[in-house]
Amino acid sequence: MSVSAGNEKVRVAGSGGGGGAHGEGNHVDRRGLEEVEERMVKVRFCDDTSSRYPYVWLRENCQCPSCFNSDAVARLFLTDDLDLHVHPKDIQVCDGNLEVVWNDGHTSQYTGEWLYQRAFTPQARELQRSSYRLSRVLWGRELEVPRIDYRSAMEKDESMLELLVLLERYGVVILTEASTRIGALIDMIERIGFVKPTHYGRDYQLKAVVSPNNLAYTGSKLGLHSDLPYTQDPPGQHEGKGGDNTLSDGAKGVSILKERHPNHYQTLLHTPIYFQDKGFHTYHFHKITKRTTITLDEEGQLNQIYISPQSRDSIMDLDPEQVYDFYVALKVFNDILNEHGITIKTKPGEIIALDNIRVLHGRKAFDPANTNGFRHLHNAYIDCDDLRSKRRILQSNLGVSLS
Ligand SMILES: [Fe+2]
Ligand SMILES: [Zn+2]
């Protein structure tokens, strides 16, 4: 797309009013308006950056009270009313803001700051992306699991923000010096957002029992797995107290798999398998999902990983030839995860917060008769959405920007 600067459509606007202090960036430069092509305008800011804005986007995002409800932070303007050929009758910069009179007579105003935050430049989009989601730090055996003091995260927003940022970057954090009181885990989740209930309840306690409805309630070794792969929208975060755990960064595992075994990576990306959970807890449940082991997000980056020897179904909607290929790929991936995994021991009263759809967890076998009540875990879940939401709010309150 070429910028047709210098043609007769170019309009230098803003004869009065001024464009704000140079270098602030968030005012539209009074010199700077060019109509480029037919469907967009280029706006230059006081820090000498500029962005093109399509007319159709500007019209839909008019901020006037009949087009936008600023209390609800929601658009009132309907797609029904959007004219794809909308164009300005008049467009100019006034007091550092953009003013448009559209061909249908409607008038719109946009502040320089509002436009600047929504610029379509690569740099601005990078910043917008980091608000959506922070970049990950991949880890292997070298990882010293980040630790945050429980009380300080409960009491200080700065510590809470640190906790949320570390969780998003590493997928695992240990909260230290939490009490062994059962409510401590729920208190932490509720400081962030809501507990996500599952068919095992709002939260649950793991102790070995006689007729378990889940292998978690036994002393068996549990291989690396993700929790609840048999629900359509498994919780992102899993917080548990106490016990020994094996952990492995699925994001790191996928990056190794992709590089060393691209064919197996493709297999795990494209072979849908069933996960199931059947039993009784308060009511009878029979959950089934069909999904691939690895899923990518809208940018082609790793989104989620689902591994669960205990709940991957023996029913497979595959041709028999595909089954062997799937097992080979899964085995190779599992070996990579084990090779790069870590074992951590938490003390009573410590909480492990982990990203359930990225970091796989497991545990060594133990003798339920011989634990003296030591292996007593309390588990609950929270959605990733709630963590990111809290992180954005705290960033805004504390004036912290992150990339
Ligand atoms: Fe688990
Ligand atoms: Zn409007």
Residue 366 pLDDT level (bands cut at 50, 70, 90): confident
Lowest-confidence range among 58-67, 348-357, 387-396?
348-357
Identify which has the larger pLDDT, 355 or 182: 355
- Closest Cα partner for 59 from 115, 112, 11, 106? 106
CA 72 to chain centre: 23
Contacts of 104 (CB under 8 A, 6+ apart): 83, 86
DSSP secondary structure of 218-282: SSS-EEEE-S-TTSSS--SEEEEEEEEEEEEEHHHHHHHHHHH-HHHHHHHHH-EEEEEEEEEES
Q: Domain 147-396: state its class.
A: alpha beta
pLDDT at 15: 28
Compute the mean pLDDT over every residue in the chain, rounded to the nearest whole number: 88
Q: Select the more confidently predicted residue: 339 or 22.
A: 339
| Distance separating alpha carbons of residues 316 and 324, to the nearest angstrom | 12
Rounded to the nearest angstrom, the distance between the alpha carbon of 270 and the centre of ligand 1 is 25
106 CA distance to ligand 2 middle (Å):
7
Ligand 2 center–CA 115 separation, angstroms = 15
Decide if pLDDT at 241 tops 80.
no
Residue 204 Cα, ligand 1 centroid: separation in angstroms?
Answer: 12
Which ligand has its closest atom nearest to the C-alpha of 311?
1
| For the CA of 75, the nearest ligand | 2
- 306 Cβ contact partners less than 8 Å away, ≥ 6 residues apart: 226, 229, 234, 275, 291, 292, 293, 295, 357
pLDDT tens readout for residues 188-218: 999 999 999 999 888 887 776 767 888 877 7
Largest CA distance in the chain: 86
* Model confidence pLDDT, tens digit, residues 132-188: 999 999 999 999 999 999 999 999 999 999 999 999 999 999 999 988 887 899 999
Q: Ligand 2 mean position to 109 CA, how many Å?
A: 8
CA of 216 to the centre of ligand 1 (A): 7
Q: What's the distance, CA 13 to chain centroid?
A: 41
Distance 51 CA to ligand 1 centre (A): 47
Q: Which residues lie at CB < 5 A from ion ligand 1?
A: 227
- What percent of the chain is modeled with pLDDT above 90? 70
Query: So what's the pLDDT on residue 403?
Result: 81
User: Among the listed ranges 87-96, 165-174, 270-279, 367-376, which one has the minimum average pLDDT value?
Assistant: 367-376
**What is the number of the ligand closest to the CA of 109?**
2
- Cα of 125 vs centre of ligand 2, distance in Å, is 25
Q: Is the pLDDT of residue 5 over 80?
A: no
**What is the CATH number assigned to the segment(s) 28-132?**
3.30.2020.30
**Which ligand is closest to the CA of 356, given by its number?**
1
Provide the residue ranges of all domains of the chain, joining segments of one domain with +: 28-132, 147-396
pLDDT of 128 over the 80 cut: yes
Instruction: State the pLDDT at residue 262.
Output: 98
